Chain A
Amino acid sequence: MATLAKLSDDGDALYVKLLQVAQSSPDGLRKVFFQADIQALASESAKTLQDLMPLVQELTNHCLLRLSKLDRALCWSARPRDAAKAITLLNPDEKMIYSYVEDAHQKGIWLRELKKRTGVNPNVVQKTMPKLEGAHLVKSIKNIRAPAQKTYMLYHLVPSDDVTGGSFFDAGDLDESLIEELSNLIIFHVRMQSWADTKPKRVKREASPPVLIDDHNDSNGNAKKRKRGATADIEDAPRKYRPTGYDDHAVEIITQLSFPAYTRTYPSAEAIHAFITTTDAIRASKAAQLTVPEIQGVIDVLVWDDKLEKVGDGYRTVRGVSFKPPGYPDDEGEEEGDARFGNGLTQAPCGKCPVFDLCGEGGPVNAGSCVYWAKWLEGGG
């Protein structure tokens, strides 16, 4: 193998050209070149097929080009130089295994599938993989769809979102805290633009609207600082937004004023995405990774959780929903929730009765023998 002749200059020039084109194309190294493409790219000296043939053959021998078939036409794609060098050192079995992993590209290939497809002795495959890994040719990744399966892909590739599960997965595990913080941040951002805030009535203020807006910007800025700052500050900070939407008092304390209808554009998923990716709250590498559909997914969940509501093309927070400073326990709907949520059925013992289906007159459980009623009448809960 070491006997392979040194790469000719023409061949090298062609390879560099192909690599450049491939890297600048959206497909990256996956970019395939058909005969005509290569012909167009090749230098003057190798325009004819006869001249080109040896060059391509040479590159293929050096493993710098990979041969494949697409729609019955032969095509080639470039390989990175160091990978190519490593491949030349492999034995035929390993080469074959490598080519299958390469074909799987960003999706990766399951070890068992690899054994089956190559037809190579499974034990050999088993032994080969660590070797390839050691040579930095392939790597083992975790497929989110099948976490138990051992999956391999080329070393220099980044796993596709299908495999990793997208931005919300961290090494194959759902990054729940990221989602939570992101939701919180979205609520915070949208909340700022959804309702005009006022203080409760008894506070008599001669504040004018500009001041009110200043107030917003101010707290906006504060919050950003807060995000960056130590958590201790947050604990000290007064809770500015109280949930008020649920209060059922005769005199309503208005703290959230609606904006007149059809006068306002509420932030859309794109706008929210733009905010999230530009804010400092999220690590830059992570922020760059987030896509609009992913943000849309978080928004959808927030809508299902009754935190946001769609207005026109944008979103606003549901009345009474408030931004919760990081680290604040999620106390909504737990203890006080019983009084606020629920209805006639669920608040009666029968609504939550575990043996409701058995209950009947003359049955093992009935209205007279029920223990839940006694508790309910006693404790009111």
Chain B
Amino acid sequence: MAQNLAELCTVLIENHIGELSAQLFATLAEHGRLTVHTLAEHAKIPLRRVRTGLADLMEEQLALHFAAEEDAPTYYSVNWRNAYNLARHTNIVDLVNDRHGELAGQMVGNILQLGHARTGDLAEAYDLMPASKRDSGVDAAADHMPENGLGNGIAKASSAKASHDMSTFEFHSTLRALLRSGVLVKVGMRAYMPPSDLQEQIEETVISDQFPDRKVTGPKKQHDFKVAINALKRKWREDDAYSDLHDAGSRGAIKRPGDHFKSENKRAKVNGGHANGLLNEGEQSTSKLSDDLVVRVDFSRCTMAMRSRRLEQHAKRFLGGVTAAVYGALLQTLEGKVRAVHDELAADMSDDDESSLPAATAAEVAEILDPAIELGASIKGLATDKTLTNGTGKKGKKPHDDFGDFGIKRELSDSEDEPTTNGYSGYRDRANRLSSIEAHLALLEEHTKRYCKRVRAHGSSEWRVDFPALTATLVEAEVDTTIQARYGKLALRVARMLRERGKLEEKQVASCAMMRIKDIRAILTELQFHGILEAQELPKDNGRQPSRTLYLWFCDTFRVQHLFLQQTYKAMARTLQRIPVERERYRTVIEKAERTDVKGREQEKLEQPEKQALREWREVEERLLSQVDRMDEMVALLRDFSGRDTSLTT
């Protein structure tokens, strides 16, 4: 099963780091955890090169390592999740671009390329360090990173890209915003340990601390043990998590005593004149981040954002763009309130599923929602008395009758000279806006798919989204799309019917689908051949003759989902493998364009047909890569959105 994934990851690593690391990864993937020596043996690579390759892998967090004791041999194993995540980079950058702006996207792109980065190095790379003085005390995690080399690497990459200069302030506030939104997280020492070893260590700690007799048998003790383990896990996670307070680079005098234990090694940075110039960002933005803060991109957080985007698209299909936008804002609000798509630690805190889901109010949604969106126009009757929800004060005072009470956006709103400052000015406008949002949310709730739920029946305006159920809906929709695109509408009809009705006999299938048995039989057989449907045999007698057997057809969405996932892995690998094949066709031109005397002066040095060919090549590469991105979206949906998938745990 993992073969397709291993192949894909190997290709990804080969593209990302190089052949050596890819080979090591493939060997590790095949054999499980190995020491350096056995790894060298299996891969048939000299030990010295194995060490370099492993260093590369580890730098990108593609390999995990753990030694039980000081002088015990270190075992290496692959980190499936991170390896696969290499395919997700473009999607994440896109996402960050959308939400936090181009600058943030660029920074996230750089961090993704590096795996993880020290803030100081990043700043340096962006030419923001006044005088680059390396801090003396580097915390342990940073040891794994050859800082100089990488620092220079970014400098090169970014100086080419960053056309506009970025101020220190912009840099830090963006970084901080990203940290606060959870896209970036702090990297702690424990990030490199395989989860199973981590679990063992936690258990050991708990036993030695709280169970002196080393016995954890019996129901009560077992329970206590579990609670203690989760508490410790949570504590460690919190220790590793970023917080505005602890990770702030000090601002001179204002320093709480508590700050010291976290940032002992961090030097005070003077913040220059920036502090006063920035009013709207609040006081936090004025403090610089510590240079020694090591950050990486939190993929699970990004998965959550991808899920929100997907849900929004799904809602758009059924309820239109405006309602979907409101939904998107609701989802984004909720994102801030949960830790991950599926928080296994939070799950066992409360038995009640309902209450463990986060809730948001319409006011919170209104804060995130783009004020330019015309809320009234897409619901009949809403625009009639509310007029324009993004109207300015002057408009709000006009009598309502002046406006066409037809659900059309008025032309006036564009020609109006008055600037629309921040969406709504008067209290009434705000109230209108909130009730419009509520109306949209109610629409979402009314829909069969139950996109969201009001927490209490009436009166309160808290809204909740049942993510597990909706994730299942998304998966079903994706499976359906695939079935329809491959096998046609009728096949989809049959598959959906079987999913809804359970196991059915051929004749029942035909009568439910209102089709001829002959046609149904063809569809059923085709779908069975491709693994979408399965038939259960039910012999009528002991003879078990096929002619005396009933066949009950059914569709197991879970199985189909995994089938498609594997196929997507494989298709992604093929798509990536196709790139070098295509490159071969344009090899001479590419080589010429990459010659040192041509590079940078392509316009003058290349002939017209050569330029044309180069353009074609770029187009081909672009198309292939974007296809990979789209397939990655599918993988995210089929595998990651529920957060319950265990196929990637190491």
Contact = CB atoms under 8 A, between A and B. Distances in A.
Interface of A: 145, 165, 168, 174, 176, 179, 196, 198, 201, 204-209, 212, 245-246, 252, 254, 256-262, 297-298, 300-301, 304-305, 309-312, 318-319, 333, 337-338, 341-348, 350-352, 356, 359, 361, 366-368, 370, 373, 377
B314 to A, nearest CB: 12
A310 B448 contact: yes
B241 interface: no
A356 B570 contact: yes
Contact of B446 (A262, A341, A361): A262
B496 A304 contact: yes
B405 A208 contact: yes
A263 to B, nearest CB: 8
Contacts of B493: 301, 304-305
B613 to A, nearest CB: 14
Main secondary structure of the interface of B (DSSP, over half): helix
A174 B516 contact: yes
A298 B514 contact: yes
Contacts of A209: 381, 384, 405-406
Contact of A359 (B378, B492, B515, B570): B570
Nearest to B484: A341
B446 A345 contact: no
Contacts of B321: 252
B318 to A, nearest CB: 6
Interface in B362-402: 377-382, 384
Nearest to B616: A377
Interface string B625-644: 00101111110000000000
B574 interface: yes
B378 A348 contact: no
Contacts of A343: 478, 481-482, 485, 630, 633-634
20 contacts: A204-B408, A209-B381, A209-B406, A252-B322, A254-B377, A258-B380, A261-B442, A262-B446, A300-B512, A304-B496, A319-B320, A342-B485, A343-B634, A346-B481, A347-B627, A348-B627, A351-B486, A368-B577, A377-B582, A377-B624
Given A257-B407, A345-B567, A367 B578 contact: yes
Given A318-B318, A344-B631, A259 B379 contact: yes
B620 interface: yes
Most chain B beta-carbon contacts within 10 A, residue among A206, A254, A318, A361 = A254
A341 B405 CA distance: 36
Nearest to A244: B320
Contacts of B381: 209, 259-260
B198 interface: no
A361 B320 contact: no
A301 B578 contact: no
Contact of A260 (B443, B492, B582, B631): B443
B481 A342 contact: yes
B406 A205 contact: yes
A218 B442 CA distance: 31
Contact of B489 (A165, A305, A348): A305
A344 B478 CA distance: 10
A168 B484 CA distance: 26
Contact of B380 (A168, A206, A260): A260
Nearest to B510: A174
Contacts of B507: 145
A150 B579 CA distance: 64
A51 to B, nearest CB: 52
A209 to B, nearest CB: 7
Contacts of A361: 7, 577
A341 B382 CA distance: 32
A269 to B, nearest CB: 15
**Minimum-distance CB pairs A-B, first 10:** A344-B630, A350-B571, A342-B485, A367-B577, A261-B442, A346-B485, A196-B380, A344-B631, A261-B446, A257-B380
Given A258-B380, A304-B513, 20 more contacts: A174-B516, A179-B514, A209-B384, A245-B317, A245-B318, A257-B377, A297-B514, A310-B448, A312-B446, A319-B317, A342-B481, A343-B478, A343-B634, A345-B634, A346-B482, A346-B485, A350-B570, A350-B575, A367-B573, A377-B623
Contacts of A352: 485-486
B214 to A, nearest CB: 51
Contacts of B445: 261
Interface residues of B, number: 70
B485 A341 contact: yes
B380 A309 contact: no
Contacts of A370: 574, 578
B406 A198 contact: yes
B76 to A, nearest CB: 25
Nearest to B406: A207
A82 B476 CA distance: 61
B317 A260 contact: no
Contact of B382 (A207, A260, A359): A260
A338 B486 CA distance: 10
B22 to A, nearest CB: 13
Contacts of B380: 196, 257-260
Contacts of A246: 317
Contacts of B442: 260-262
A180 B381 CA distance: 34
Nearest to A252: B321
Most chain A beta-carbon contacts within 10 A, residue among B384, B489, B564 = B489
A311 B564 contact: no
A347 B630 contact: yes
B360 to A, nearest CB: 18
B561 interface: no
B439 interface: yes
B539 interface: no
B77 interface: no
B6 to A, nearest CB: 12
Contacts of B481: 341-343, 346
Interface string B564-589: 10011011011101100110000000
A254 B633 CA distance: 28
Nearest to A195: B380
A261 B439 contact: yes
B439 A260 contact: yes
A246 B574 CA distance: 30
A352 B486 CA distance: 6
A284 B426 CA distance: 61
Contacts of A168: 514
A350 B632 CA distance: 14
A251 B281 CA distance: 32
Contact of A373 (B317, B478, B578, B633): B578
Nearest to A168: B514
Nearest to B381: A260
B515 to A, nearest CB: 7
Most chain B beta-carbon contacts within 10 A, residue among A174, A297, A311 = A174
A165 B447 contact: no
B381 to A, nearest CB: 6
B514 to A, nearest CB: 5
